Chains A and B, each alone.
Chain A
Amino acid sequence: MSRWAPARRRRLLDAGRVLIRRPSGAVGLGITVALVVVAAAAPVLAPHSPSTQFTDGLTSFGAPVGPSRQFLLGTDALGRDLLSRLIFGLRNTLQVAVAANLIASVIGVAVGGIAGYFGGWLDALMMRLTEVLLAVPAILLAGFLALVTQPSPTSLVLIIAGVNWYYLARIVRGEVIAIRVREFVEAAVVAGAGPWRILVTHVLRQVWSLVFVYMTLQFSTTAIFVASMSFVGIGIQPPTPSLGNLIADGSQYLTSVPRLAIIPGVLLAVAVLGFNLLGDSLRDALAVRD
């Protein structure tokens, strides 16, 4: 932090202050922080282990039991405490979604930026590659890859990042192409600045807010993609809970024990809401600074 120029530090602090002053920013930050804390403190917060199947967690006919002092939100189809599974499910989903999103965005910006700025054969090659990848539907490609690999959280993160990076790459490339011909860029070229410097300091800064908006939007898409993968059986493997497979398990009980599907869905919705609000406000705050 001390290496940064004082002017830059002041600008960041100003942006932060603007963010907190706006109510949606504060709420978004609050939700996100709260959820991250819950996820991080899961082993401490959860009243039971998420995988323990309790013999008194099922009725004699094998139906889940409702909320009680022991099980605050009731149990699931195998007699496990729903609240504990929710907390750990949130943790696992956040881990996968954030990691995959981050990796995908970094790759996407890098590839899209280089392709858009330098053009020529680099652009053509990257365009063709992303076109080929885009032409295979993400969930099918993920299904195919899941067949080939050993299921583990790492492979899941890599698969999701691998089927997601090219969307942002193309959007960034499109914007970079439009920006490249703008006057200030041409002025910088004339002034003698090297291409990498121009790319990073001038061009990418213009797309920064777009990327940020996209990243926060993508969190929800990624989280839901993980949920869809769990729904068809290739996401986080049982008995490890994730918000996605909790919804998938609960969806069979939608008409008889609705809370099993609805509560995880609401939690997922709140998490996504929080990230979206935060991203929205951050974008407005940053735009104000520029």
Chain B
Amino acid sequence: MIRFVTRRTIGGVGVLWGIATLVFVIAYVIPINPARVIAGRSAPRAVVESIYRQLGLDHPVWVQYGDYLGRLVHGNLGESYATNQPVSQALLQRLPYTVELVLLGVLGEVIIGVGLALVAAARRGSRWDDFASVVAMLGLTLPTFWLGLLLLYIFAFVLPIFPLGGVDQSTWVVLPALSIAFTGAGVYTRMGRASLLEALSEDYIRTARAKGASHRRALVGHALRNAMRPIVTMAGLDLATLMGGVLVTEQVFGIPGLGTLAWTAILQNDLPMLEGVVLVIGVVIVVTTILIDIVYAWLDPRVRVTGSK
């Protein structure tokens, strides 16, 4: 197990290097001159060129890459081209909001999704199975931002229960998290139902039931554990995607998180900020993936051996 974890961690560091390089390459390839953007449209050519030199953009690419990696290793993420604010400071300010939103959102997805899947699998073929499928399908068919707009209008304006966007009140997270949970739960319901049904028909479940364990205990105890495998994979990937994918939800609700920070950075060609956001999200994702792999290996010991060939 220790070797497994160590190998995964080293792999993780490699992935982070890969992300940093990918971001550097894309930023280098973009046909936009950051000095021009900083200098604004009124600046004479001399000013633009001076800024260009100050940013070190006239150095050969491998020198820029080396400086970039060196900077990163020391934890210096540079300063925003737009505001001169240290990137790490901006990230720390924004990270808590996105993390809170994503965690609650995924939690909601899993609870709603697996809950519905349990209902559907336990009463397969009945009215409850239908109900679960309908709810799941409904969620999947709605764009998150569309549902978010609807929830905002109905539950924050028409019925002023929740705040109208922003994060100035403590209940700010409820509506955006709900919009994420409801539109994402469907995936878990389907996968959960399919996996549960498959697992329920496995030999060892039949054996457990033949031995006298009740239907429900068999379901929860054995089937769930095995069915959780794709669910856990999915939840991990979900957390990963959502860290950046919530950007549209963040925009609708006006949440000052990483998503809106990244999008503003793209629009303003604020490359240090964009690199910083992508790297932070990358760290979160890599750590999450490693944890998921460990849980995966714990759930299915066969993987520990075969997965590390």
Contacts and interface: CB of A to CB of B under 8 A. Distances in A.
A131 B32 contact: no
B15 A228 contact: no
A148 B149 contact: no
Contacts of B166: none
Contact of B140 (A129, A180, A276): A276
A171 B191 CA distance: 12
Interface string A195-213: 0000000000000001001
B250 to A, nearest CB: 11
B247 A137 contact: yes
Nearest to B157: A255
A104 B247 CA distance: 23
Q: Of B19, B143, B145, B153, which is in contact with the most chain A CB atoms at under 10 Å from its CB?
A: B143
Interface in B28-61: 29-32
B140 A128 contact: no
B15 A135 contact: yes
Contacts of B87: none
B241 interface: yes
Contact of A177 (B23, B277, B303): B303
Binding site secondary structure of chain B: helix
Interface string A219-246: 0110010011001100000000000100
Contacts of B309: 119-120, 123
Contacts of A128: 11, 14-15, 18
Interface in A167-184: 167, 170-171, 174, 177-178, 180-181
Contacts of B30: 144, 147-148
A148 B22 CA distance: 14
Contacts of A123: 309
A251 interface: yes
B241 A217 contact: no
Contacts of A129: 18
B2 interface: no
B307 interface: yes
A181 B29 contact: no
A251 B266 CA distance: 23
B230 A136 contact: no
B240 interface: yes
Interface stretch (B72-80, B110-118, B174-182, B282-290): B282-290
A220 B142 CA distance: 9
Contacts of B240: 134-135, 137
Contacts of B263: 140, 143, 232
B146 A170 contact: no
Contacts of A127: 11
Contacts of B140: 217, 220-221, 272, 276
Given A128-B18, A178-B300, A254-B153, A139 B244 contact: yes
B243 interface: yes
A7 interface: no
Interface of B: 11, 14-15, 18-19, 22-23, 26, 29-32, 133, 137-138, 140-146, 149-150, 153, 187, 190-191, 194, 229-230, 233-234, 237, 240-241, 243-245, 247-248, 251, 262-263, 266, 274, 277-278, 281-282, 285-286, 289, 296, 300, 302-303, 306-307, 309
23 contacts: A127-B11, A131-B289, A132-B18, A132-B19, A134-B237, A136-B22, A137-B247, A138-B245, A143-B263, A148-B26, A174-B229, A177-B303, A177-B307, A178-B303, A180-B306, A181-B306, A227-B145, A231-B143, A232-B247, A254-B149, A268-B141, A268-B143, A269-B138
Given A144-B30, A272-B140, 12 more contacts: A124-B11, A131-B285, A135-B240, A139-B247, A147-B32, A148-B31, A213-B190, A213-B191, A227-B146, A251-B145, A254-B149, A254-B153
